[in-house]
Amino acid sequence: MEDRNDNKRYYPSPMEQSILVQSVGNYFSKPERSVERNKIAAEVSAALMKINNHWTHRAVRLWFNNNKHTYNGEGGQPTNPSNGGPPFPIQQHSMPQQHSVHFGEPPFIQQSQQQNIQQPMQQQVPQQQMNPISAHPISQSVIQQPINSALQGPIQSSIPSAIQPPLQQSLQQGISQPLQQSIQQPIQNIQSSLQPSLQTSLQTSLHSSIQPPLQSSLQPSIQQTLQQQQNQPISQIISSIPLQPSSIPPSMQIKPQSSQPQQQQPQSSQAQSKSNQGQSQQQQQIRQNWQTGNYQNFTNRIQGLIESSLKVDDENMATLVQQYDQCLSEMRSVGQTTSHSYAIDPKNSITFPQPDPTEFSFSSSLSVQDALFQSRRYTDVFINSQFDAAFVDGSCAAFHHIARFTPDRALSYEFVDSPKFGESWKTQKVNTNARIESLVVDSDHKCVWMLGNCKVLRLHLDPNQKLQSTDLTPPNPSMYAAPLVVFNGRVVTGYSESNILYFIDNRMKVTQVNTGFSDNNGYSVISPMNDLLLCGLSHSAAVRLINENGAEVRSFVGHTDTPIYISKMSNNTFLTASDDRSLKIWDIRQHAPIGHIGTNRKSITAISGCENYAVFTTHPNQICVVDVRGVPIKPIIGVSTDEYGTSNLYYNPVNDTLCLFGVAAKEGNSDSLLFIDDEGASRKYVFRRYQNFIHL
């Protein structure tokens, strides 16, 4: 029964055992069930899995626990596997928490090791590979005689007499070798020449009582070297272990090189480890220098192209834009992307400060004028259901949502200048089951245009009028649509992977206009600018100004990623936001930005520009206001929206009001009791209105 169980065991190869033994002391030096222990076991498992798939994380920990006393020496004495019989003498060295790896070796090997230490400068002899052996017990007649002759004294033993022929042949070959060759072999080569099954068999099968363990005659320098190797990282331990032909496939075997004297081997291993560390640090420094230099190179190229745009006319601007986008593409291909803070006047390049969390406490004063981050009074109107799309301007707010208690869709709207603001929301049913992607209210506030599922809907605010619709035919219906905008009595939209613009008039007639951009370079955002259209392209960082016929009038370079928001500030200036997490202020008479606003790498969720201020919201639910009237431009107000993220924003400079739609979110809770007020109504979706927002 014992033989059958022993045959099922897996015995580590010399290389595997060296890795395990070198790490077991460090493993048990860490606290039990600690992260450090788990990390050591994971590193050892990762290294051993490259040799044999047996060494999973669990197998490594199991081996450590099973060999805890044998290798780690807890309790001060080495122990043997508990097989119930008398143990075999194990070689022990007098080092704290460090025992020799040579346990259970025949005495002729122990004797050769002692002589190797005394003669370290002799030339090494190539290692002899032993045949695989069985894990069955070893015959007393084979081992007893060399043990007695080497130790110069009888050792009592009760070794079973069964021995396998391969084992007997291997032992006879090892014993018959000249003693001079055994003496010349270094300790490391002799250890690796024994197969792990022989070492395990000697531990598990020999059951005689032992004499007091022999003390090693290792020199102090070798003991210190072994102590240092125990605390080495697993990567250094692996690099210092020679590859064994029996542990790797023949196609991957490396021819042995000429060996060095015994005493110099630990030193050369440490020197090699230090050399590898130095080379790794040098390579890392070179890579960092390359990345820094490469990034600086891209930055200089971008700035050079932006400055060149000031000297280029509109006809030659297309070539410069192509070079600009190519430079950004190369920059992104090496994993580098960031906004560029260039402005024609460097004083107008700023970064909005980050708020101090303590400034948003309930104890903050409402009359503080000298602090940047302040609180503002507001009025909330909670929306009972989730809205698909929303719109807000200076006098009207509207949103499309699921009707209450029915699966139908509905549109709710209200005029924000109403004296009963928040109490007079009107709702109209929309005969469509499609999700609305964007909506816009016309300038007369008589009808609402909606876009969804490649259809444009027109809903009159007069309930007596019917819903009108028309189909768009984009090349791919799954493409993302740019937000609808009202332009000269018509609405305009486009798609992200098509260069076609769609104009829809009041008779629901669709006019398609092909622009001069590439076929797959569609639209990310569209905004009216007097009698022209400003648009951002999905595969370009430049902002384009085009006419109704789709011809490009002017282009603007300064962003380093796709533009996502555009807002008109005056007849000559406009504000843009990009995926590079920055805002730019432009003058249509210049190709380069006249102002830059950084956000500390925060995502921009909405913008609203006017002649004197640039207003925008960032992802951490913060409203930011920048005064653009003077030089330099300067941040003046930062207001927290608490738990509400902004989806639509509009600042009205006439009455100093700010309106927004918000969606509440708290650490990933999409819908919970956190968004239920005292009356049981949902407060997750809100329409908020600030009064006296900038001027208290």
CA distances (Å), origin 56, targets 9, 60, 69: 15, 6, 22
193 and 334 in a single domain? The answer is no
Asked if the structure places residue 268 within a domain, the reply is no
229 and 337 in a single domain? The answer is no
Position with higher pLDDT, 525 vs 258? 525
Q: Which of 241, 263, 296 is the last residue of a domain?
A: 241
CA distances (Å), origin 121, targets 3, 111, 116: 43, 17, 9
CA distances (Å), origin 357, targets 364, 375, 639, 667: 11, 13, 12, 16
Are the beta carbons of 533 and 487 closer than 8 angstroms?
Answer: yes
- Please, which residues have CB within 8 angstroms of residue 146's CB and are 6 or more apart in sequence? 106, 107, 108, 175
* CA 254 to chain CA mean position, Å: 37
* Highest averaged pLDDT of the listed ranges 256-270, 388-402, 405-419: 388-402
Asked if the structure places residue 254 within a domain, the reply is no
Among candidate residues 555, 530, 536, the one with its CA nearest the CA of residue 545: 555
Q: Which position has the token pair 């960092």?
A: 288
Structure tokens at 458: 């027109």
Query: At 24, is the pLDDT very low, low, confident or very high (cuts 50, 70, 90)?
Result: confident
Residue 456, strand partner residues: 451, 470
372 and 513 in a single domain? The answer is yes
Asked if the structure places residue 121 within a domain, the reply is yes
- Please, which residues have CB within 8 angstroms of residue 555's CB and are 6 or more apart in sequence? 314, 317, 318, 321, 542, 543, 544, 545, 591
Position with higher pLDDT, 188 vs 570? 570
Cis bond upstream, residue 245 (ω within 30): no
3-state SS string for 434-462: CCCCEEEECCCCCEEEEEECCEEEEEECC
**Chain mean pLDDT for the chain:** 74
Q: Distance (Å, rounded) from C-alpha 563 to C-alpha 576?
A: 7
Q: Radius of gyration over alpha carbons of the chain, in Å?
A: 40
363 and 224 in a single domain? The answer is no
Q: Distance (Å, rounded) from C-alpha 582 to C-alpha 13?
A: 59
- The CA-CA-CA angle for residues 48, 6, 131, to 5°, reads 65
Give the number of other CB atoms < 10 A from CB of residue 199: 20
Asked if the structure places residue 478 within a domain, the reply is yes
What percentage of the chain exceeds 70 in pLDDT? 62
Average pLDDT over residues 206-223: 41
Are the beta carbons of 527 and 535 closer than 8 angstroms?
Answer: yes
Task: Count the helix, strand and coil residues of the chain and give each as a percent rounded to the nearest 5.
Answer: 30, 25, 45
Average pLDDT over residues 368-384: 81
Among candidate residues 191, 225, 229, 277, the one with its CA nearest the CA of residue 26: 229
- The CA-CA-CA angle for residues 618, 621, 623, to 5°, reads 65
Amino acid present at 454: C
Structure tokens at 620: 């951490």
pLDDT (0 to 100) of residue 564 = 96
Q: Which of 192, 220, 241 is the last residue of a domain?
A: 241
User: Taking the model in full, what pTM does it have?
Assistant: 0.59
Number of domains forming the structure of the chain: 2
pLDDT (tens digit per residue) in 126-168: 434 444 434 444 444 443 444 344 344 444 443 444 444 444 4
Does residue 449 have a pLDDT over 90?
Answer: yes
141 and 30 in a single domain? The answer is yes
Position with higher pLDDT, 669 vs 692? 692
Structure tokens at 455: 């259809």
Asked if the structure places residue 485 within a domain, the reply is yes
- Tell me which of 18-27, 349-358, 431-440, 557-566 is least confident: 349-358
339 and 236 in a single domain? The answer is no
400 and 525 in a single domain? The answer is yes
Asked if the structure places residue 521 within a domain, the reply is yes
Average pLDDT over residues 574-583: 96
- Tell me which of 80-94, 475-489, 624-638 is least confident: 80-94
Position with higher pLDDT, 554 vs 218? 554
225 and 327 in a single domain? The answer is no
43 and 151 in a single domain? The answer is yes
CA distances (Å), origin 296, targets 120, 299, 349, 619: 55, 5, 19, 28
Q: Distance (Å, rounded) from C-alpha 280 to C-alpha 235?
A: 13
Does residue 660 have a pLDDT over 90?
Answer: yes
What percentage of the chain exceeds 90 in pLDDT? 37
Asked if the structure places residue 286 within a domain, the reply is no
Among candidate residues 266, 106, 255, the one with its CA nearest the CA of residue 186: 266
Are the beta carbons of 625 and 694 closer than 8 angstroms?
Answer: yes
104 φ, ψ to 5°?
A: 70, 15
Average pLDDT over residues 456-481: 88
- In a 10 Å sphere around its CB, with 0-12 CB exposed, 13-18 middle and 19+ buried, how is residue 356 labelled? exposed
Average pLDDT over residues 598-611: 94
Are the beta carbons of 70 and 103 closer than 8 angstroms?
Answer: yes
Q: How many CA atoms lie within 13 A of 402 on its CB side?
A: 11
Asked if the structure places residue 73 within a domain, the reply is yes
571: domain CATH number is 2.130.10.10
Are the beta carbons of 525 and 483 closer than 8 angstroms?
Answer: yes
Strands 543-546 and 532-537: antiparallel
pLDDT (0 to 100) of residue 358 = 54
Average pLDDT over residues 242-259: 42
Average pLDDT over residues 397-403: 90
195 and 327 in a single domain? The answer is no
Are the beta carbons of 123 and 226 closer than 8 angstroms?
Answer: no
Residue 25 sits in which domain range? 2-241
Q: Distance (Å, rounded) from C-alpha 602 to C-alpha 354?
A: 10
pLDDT (tens digit per residue) in 342-374: 999 999 999 999 876 554 444 444 444 458 899
237 and 362 in a single domain? The answer is no
Q: Which of 203, 226, 241 is the last residue of a domain?
A: 241
74 φ, ψ to 5°?
A: -70, 140
Amino acid present at 160: P
Amino acid present at 569: M
Does residue 313 have a pLDDT over 50?
Answer: yes
336 and 476 in a single domain? The answer is yes
Structure tokens at 154: 């009888």
